[in-house]
Amino acid sequence: MEPERTRRTQAERRETTRRALLDATIQSLMELGYSRTTTTEVVRRAGFSQGALFKHFPSKSALVAAAAEQLFEDLFTRFSSAFEASVEHADEPAIVLAMRKLWDVFCTKELRAVYGLYAEAPNDPELHASLVPVVAAHQANLSRFALDLFPELERTELHRALLTSVIYAMQGLSFQKAVHVDADDEARMLSHLESLGRSLFPKEIPC
């Protein structure tokens, strides 16, 4: 049994190191952006060597893609917890609460850091290739997550279009907000999205 405990401890160490490197990458992306986030900067922040980093990630693009994947997972967890807490004593339709919590996620510095990668990817083939499967998996996970909360989304094409429209509208608004968005325009757009949700899901309750 002793060898089994040793293997488990080594796996735990690897996971701890990997997570520390990803956390350091996310912090660097938020503070410095993609171009100034180097592997040297990441290992400095994480307290590991370059050799330790390259045991887990073969390149900078693989590292930042893995950081984006981890960030998406963390934000899913954050959104789920915030949404569940909001519906306990709320009078608003659950779809409206979900939209509000989703907008909170879109306004996080972490997600804006990932969108910085999107902006860099068209001019960086290696980064682009690393991000494509991560983004595709994220979109699929987001759709499954939404359907788990609101099975009504499969009712009609219009209901399915709501999900896509809300996500892309909020994504575009959050891009603009990173520089400047008029507060009245922001409130008006979010209000229109909520009205759309109310009209399509007037009495729905998440499963």
Residues 110-142 pLDDT 10s: 999 998 999 999 999 999 999 999 999 998 988
The helix (H) or strand (E) run that includes residue 165 is helix 157-177
Highest mean pLDDT: which of 21-30, 77-86, 90-99? 21-30
Whole-model pTM? 0.84
72 and 113 share one domain: yes
Q: Provide the pLDDT confidence category of residue 3 given band limits of 50, 70 and 90.
A: low
40 and 98 share one domain: no
Residue 71, domain extent: 58-207
Q: What is the pLDDT of residues 138-158, one digit of tens each?
A: 989 888 888 888 888 877 888
Q: Where are the beta strands (DSSP E) in the chain?
A: none
SS3 202: coil
Mean pLDDT of the chain: 88
Number of helices followed by number of strands (H, E) in the chain: 9, 0
Q: At what angle do helices 60-87 and 94-106 cross, to 10 degrees?
A: 150
42 and 125 share one domain: no
Are 34 and 117 in contact, with CB atoms under 8 Å apart? yes
104 and 188 share one domain: yes
63 and 165 share one domain: yes
Residue 61, pLDDT score: 95
Q: Residues 178, 183, 185, 189: what is their CA dihedral angle, to the nearest 10 degrees?
A: 80
Taking the C-alpha atoms of residue 121 and residue 23, their distance in angstroms, rounded to an integer, is: 21
Taking the C-alpha atoms of residue 165 and residue 162, their distance in angstroms, rounded to an integer, is: 5
Tokens encoding 158: 């219009």
150 and 175 share one domain: yes
Contacts of 108 (CB under 8 A, 6+ apart): 75
Q: What is the pLDDT of residues 55-86, one digit of tens each?
A: 999 999 999 999 999 999 999 999 999 998 88
Taking the C-alpha atoms of residue 27 and residue 77, their distance in angstroms, rounded to an integer, is: 18
14 and 96 share one domain: no
76 and 17 share one domain: no
